[in-house]
């Protein structure tokens, strides 16, 4: 496994066939440099697989030859941790208040419902999401690892983790593909084919 850091020289990838690059980008809106990097790699003749949370930001480049965009399609929202938080914080208490409203009439319960919505939203933002941020890279990594066999990725020459959320997955992929160059640098690697 060859790794290069952010300040390292541009990596050189040598392959005896069309180079294959995994570009990991979990930001909701891809950075201009990440899109430019994907386009540069395609121009160098690489087959680029982009792993993203949501493919909405990639609509301009989807459909280009040698570029495949793979999305989680909302799998994070369906993850057990996220579902458990929604049930325990939002749906469970909301169902209790709704039932209470049906029993007593809506008027006395409305302030309780508004109070619950306000407290649940504050808990979600200030407590749950801050705690979840610590394990989120691991959760996303596992979600993509489960999908990897379905993506048909059997060989990789370079792995580029473009943001903080992708570093864990990049590290795991670098262990899976030990001959690949793994980097967090957005400077395009030099791709060469052995002859």
Give me the pLDDT at residue 8, please: 46
Give me the pLDDT at residue 164, please: 93
Specify whether the CB–CB gap between 64 and 132 falls below 8 A. no
**CATH number for region 2-74+138-193:** 3.40.50.2000
- How would you classify residue 129: left for phi > 0, otherwise alpha for psi between -120 and 50, otherwise beta? alpha
Compute mean pLDDT per 10 residues along the chain, 195 residues long, and list them: 52 70 90 90 92 85 87 89 93 88 77 91 95 94 90 88 94 93 88 61
Domain boundaries, the chain: 2-74+138-193, 80-132
């Amino acid at each position: 496994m060859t790794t290069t850091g952010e300040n390292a020289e541009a990596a050189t990838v040598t392959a005896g066939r069309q180079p294959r690059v995994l570009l990991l980008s979990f930001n909701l809106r891809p950075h201009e440099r990440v899109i430019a990097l994907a386009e540069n790699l395609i121009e160098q003749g690489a087959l680029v697989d982009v792993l993203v949370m949501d493919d909405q930001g990639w609509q301009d480049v989807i459909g280009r030859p040698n570029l495949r965009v793979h999305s989680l399609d909302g799998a994070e929202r369906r993850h057990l941790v996220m579902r458990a938080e929604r049930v325990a914080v939002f749906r469970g208490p909301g169902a209790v208040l709704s039932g209470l409203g049906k029993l007593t009439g809506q008027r006395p319960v409305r302030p309780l419902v508004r109070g619950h919505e306000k407290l649940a939203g504050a808990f979600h933002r200030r407590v749950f999401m801050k705690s979840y941020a610590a394990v989120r890279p691991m959760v996303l990594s596992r979600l993509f690892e489960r999908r990897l066999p379905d993506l048909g990725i059997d060989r990789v020459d370079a792995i580029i983790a473009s943001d903080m959320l992708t570093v864990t997955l990049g590290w795991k992929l670098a262990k899976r593909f030990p001959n690949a160059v793994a980097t967090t640098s957005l400077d395009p690697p030099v791709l060469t084919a052995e002859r």
